[in-house]
Amino acid sequence: IVSRALPDVRDGLKPIHRRILYGMSELGSLWNRPYKKSARIVGDVMGKYHPHGDSSIYDSLVRMAQEFSMRHELVDGQGNFGSVDGDNAAAMRYTEARMSRFGAEMLRDLEKETVDWQPNFDETMEEPIVLPAVFPNLLVNGSEGIAVGMATKIPPHNLIEIIDATVALIEKPKATIEDLMKHVKGPDFPTGATIEGLDGIQQAYETGRGKITVRANAFIESIKGSKSNIIVNEIPYQVNKARLIEKIADMVRSKRIEGISDIRDESDKDGMRIVIETKRDIVPEVILNQLYVNSQMKDTFGIILLALVDGIPKVLSLREALQCFIDHRHNVLIRRTNYELRVAEERAHILEGLKIALDNIDEVIEVIRGSKDPTQAKEGLMNSFELSERQAQAILEMRLQRLTGLEVEKVVQEYKEVIKLIAQLKGILESRPKQMAIIKEELAEIKDRYGEDRRTEIQAVGTTFSVEDMIAEEDVVLTFTYKGYIKRTAASTYRSQRRGGRGLQGAKAKEEDFVEHLFIASTHNMMLFFTDTGKCYWLKVHQIPQAS
């Protein structure tokens, strides 16, 4: 549960993804360096941090580089990394990868003692327990995992919306889910499509669990000769395109859907395009409705916002997830500032020593020349000028060029700057408003650099299809016989009789039976039937059996 399948609420990563990113940073496989073979990265991660099968590591690496799986890829891949048709990536010896620029933001300030570390599996090295993560990755990229007795399924979101909501929560810590939903409209899938209805989204954000309906985006293209094509350009998240096309073809073959003459995939590097050709005089909207009901062109996404909070699995609301991230960033900021303060104070201490030495340079040279070895020289300096051991060592390591007028000035200038920095860092540590302002500033920077427009549309009201939506509206002829037989026939099968023509026989009746009534009605009309006992029954015209 804890060490494999569930993401941490702070950086939104499972151990395997965290180890891949850390392993890549250790290898120097960064966004501004050349790509490295995936096999090398996998071998490194497996040998140092993740003692499991290489295929599980490579599969995770591949997913982090797929633009149709991640809203913002954390890995920049080169080569065949699979497709939305369910094709597998090429073997790791053929592909290359490096950390994406966005992924590098997950490790920002890692070297500044911002997070806790733990020994790796054989206790020969250390690895971070969590990454500093400048943005709420758990919600931005989502996560999915099945543990023991629990599962998580978090959809991806829009970076701009999530950062706006985080800033709103920092400014107004008592903000409600309604307040946050003014910024976060709902999930934002990398594959686009349309989410129907707001109820499932609101329920998920309030309770951590909810169901949303995602519908493929399609439009109708008219072509010559009273024919139309249905063009599908976006399908629901995690739906396999090749399998979807196969399923539609099966339904056409088994006559579950009638009116489709051809289906082909015209997708290319510019985007998705599935073309469904309809037969002549068929209403394409009806076919489209049938596809939404009977195929994965309309799919349900069950949200479970489960993540590890302090190592314990917990189902979170949107507000709790954002608050956990804010707490994490606050902790990172305090630790980073403390580290920078310590480094600055150490530097100031050294500069004070150098300043004393430069002010008394002749006496310093005399002490050094009069000593028989470096240890004696160090002790002599410490005794003569009341210096610490580190200051004395720094003076002994000083190069002769530091004695020039310009270099002396530089030491004084640097000392002033360091003193100013120390005051600034102490000011940050003493003021919570300043700390929160810095967190907001860093989030705004991420938003400006990586923010993108929303891809998934959200419709406030879901569409529910009635049976009529699946049946084209057309006129039919209803025939009733004396013996009680009834049928419907499409009006288009009848034709007016020309001179000398034989006409069409509308009904063949049994012996002693004949047609009593003929009606023209629409398939969407309702027929009322009165019985001899005074009861009335109703039936939709399209439910009356069709015959030739």
Pairing of strands 475-481, 515-522: antiparallel
**Cα distances (angstroms) measured from residue 441 to each of 134, 136, 366, 429:** 11, 15, 53, 16
Is 176 within 8 Å of 336 (Cβ atoms)? no
Is 121 within 8 Å of 49 (Cβ atoms)? yes
Catalytically annotated residue among 94, 450, 482, 537: 94
Residue 155: name the closest of 193, 187, 186, 181 by CA: 187
Is 313 within 8 Å of 8 (Cβ atoms)? no
Residue 42: name the closest of 16, 65, 68, 67 by CA: 16
Is 92 within 8 Å of 38 (Cβ atoms)? yes
What does the CA dihedral 506, 510, 516, 522 come to, rounded to 10 degrees? -40
What backbone torsions phi and psi does residue 467 show, to the nearest 5 degrees?
A: -60, -35
d(CA 283, CA 468): 13
Write the DSSP symbol of residue 8: B
Structure tokens at 217: 């985006």
Is residue 415 part of the annotated active site? The answer reads: no
- Cβ neighbours of 377 (radius 10 Å): 19
The sheet carrying 75-78 orders its strands as 36-37, 96-99, 75-78
Greatest distance between any 2 Cα atoms in the chain: 140
**Cα distances (angstroms) measured from residue 37 to each of 43, 73, 435:** 10, 18, 41
Task: Name the β-bridge partners of 302.
Answer: 211
User: Scanning the structure block, which residue is given the tokens 């950062």?
Assistant: 163
Write the DSSP symbol of residue 130: S
Query: In the chain, count of helices (H) and strands (E)?
Result: 16, 22
User: Scanning the structure block, which residue is given the tokens 């993401």?
Assistant: 7
Give the residue numbers annotated as catalytic, written as ranges. Answer: 94
